[in-house]
Structure 1
Amino acid sequence: MFLSSSFCDVVSLFSDFAGEEVKGKRVTFIPTASVVEEYVGHVENDKRAFESLGIIVDVLELSTASNEEIREKVSTNDYIFVSGGNSFYLLQTLKEMGADYLIKAEVSKGKLYIGTSAGSVVMCPDIRYIEAMDDKSFAPKLTEYKAMGMIDQYPLVHYGCEPFTEVAEQVYQEYKDKLPLVLLNNYQVLTVQNQEIEVLSL
């Protein structure tokens, strides 16, 4: 797993981590978390970052895709990317469409998962900690906040970076003694490989 706050800012670290020639590979690009956001420029920036490596971007919008399309793209393409946006809306949609189980199954088999911001947050056990940063009213059908649970750590994304400096610090102060937080600024990435966890920085 390659979990960042801003993929386009750490793209230079990706090829080495992937450990293979990435040109010509296909990524299932899931922008769902951004659907409820006003600013979506980061999604295009991340898309261009993949294209700069020669990776073919196959967009999969979960909220409008069929179950068959979700299953096919998640299982067939080489990588899975989940964008930033609202973590609660993302988790709600992942669960509604059954994509959470599909993604977990593929990652468990060794497929490389790339998350940025909300896409990194949802890999933790429970996303309630990010409530100050993301508006949970965008996910009215989400009755509990148990997430993917693919990592034991809780990524605190955009730490020390505008416009999230104050709210990220608020989350840190509230949960620093309660949860195993991993602070990630926009130029850091949390990598998980063979159960080894490391934070890489530019």
Structure 2
Amino acid sequence: MKVEIKEDICMKLFLCSHFSSVGNLIKEEIEMKKVVFVPTASLNEGYTGYVGSAKKLFNKMGAVVTEIDISKEYFSTIKSAFEDANIIYFTGGNSFFLIDQLRQTGVDKLLKEELGKGKLMIGESAGAIICAPNISYIERMDKKPEGYSQSDDGGLNLIDFYVLPHYLTAPFKKITATILREFPDLKICPINNHQAITVDGRSSNIIGEQ
């Protein structure tokens, strides 16, 4: 798959459905590194087991993890943590809540600045979805939360395709098939829970088990 980088920066992205299932694929890039762990997308979700499993894997790899909720922390604290980190990780959860908080706080711009320095961004599920130009396509899977403040559904616009996580994977088997069918004009990239998309500079690959 060829990818166009939408922003004028060469970045490194690791986009996945379920980080604890695929994180070992980039073990060498994570071991002993400083990781900012952003759980914001998961805050209002019922099931959050993926948050704990991701933390467990980072710890197993010897990463130094700093957890930052961008919806509650002062911007200065977030900025300091992002600048100090080697890796910026976003959990799964609600994509609309996450992009709303990123745009409200200005952390979207801060993130792009740090990616421009060559830092690795890991996006799991919602954290991968938000990289697209627009996230309206995912509304069948993620409902907009009360208080959503954006007048549009613009994403981070880092890539020119649209990640569809958990493709044909329970409990999202039917809804992911529906989304793929209903948006034939979008460059949707479906991945299951054992696959990931790596972006390095201006090239990308799908890795993992089909």
Aligned partner of 2:205 in structure 1 is 198
Q: Please list the CA deviations of residues 58-89 of structure 1 after superposition, one character each: whole Å capped at 9, or x if unmatched.
A: 10011110010011111111100001000000
Classify 1:140/1:23 alpha carbon distance in 2 versus 1 (closer, same or farther; 3 Å): closer
Question: Which of 114, 136, 147 matches 1:128?
Answer: 136
CA contact (8 A) 1:89 1:138 kept: no
The answer as to 2:195 corresponding to 1:188 is yes
Aligned partner of 1:87 in structure 2 is 95
Kindly tell me the number of residue pairs found equivalent between the two proteins: 197
Question: Which of 107, 114, 121 matches 1:99?
Answer: 107
Aligned residue runs from structure 1 range 127-146, under 5 A = 127-146=135-154
Q: Kindly, what percent of the aligned residue pairs are identical? A: 35
CA contact (8 A) 1:88 1:139 kept: no
Aligned partner of 2:159 in structure 1 is 151
- Report the Cα distance in structure 1 between the residues aligned to 2:177 and 2:89, rounded to whole angstroms: 27
Letter in 2 for 1:189: A
- Report the Cα distance in structure 2 between the residues aligned to 1:101 and 1:138, rounded to whole angstroms: 24
Aligned partner of 1:11 in structure 2 is 23
**Which ranges of structure 1 fall in alignment gaps of 5 or more residues?**
none
Letter in 1 for 2:35: V
Helix, strand or coil for the counterpart of 2:197? Answer: strand
Letter in 1 for 2:124: T
- Report the Cα distance in structure 2 between the residues aligned to 1:137 and 1:115, rounded to whole angstroms: 20
Aligned partner of 1:166 in structure 2 is 174
Aligned partner of 2:10 in structure 1 is none
- Report the Cα distance in structure 2 between the residues aligned to 1:24 and 1:30, rounded to whole angstroms: 18
- Report the Cα distance in structure 2 between the residues aligned to 1:110 and 1:95, rounded to whole angstroms: 22
- Report the Cα distance in structure 2 between the residues aligned to 1:149 and 1:10, rounded to whole angstroms: 24
Classify 1:105/1:31 alpha carbon distance in 2 versus 1 (closer, same or farther; 3 Å): same
User: How far did 1:198 drift?
Assistant: 0.3
CA contact (8 A) 2:39 2:51 kept: yes
Aligned partner of 2:80 in structure 1 is 72
Moved over 4 A (4+): none
TM, length-normalised to structure 1: 0.94
Helix, strand or coil for the counterpart of 2:163? Answer: strand
User: How far did 1:139 drift?
Assistant: 4.8
Helix, strand or coil for the counterpart of 1:64? Answer: coil
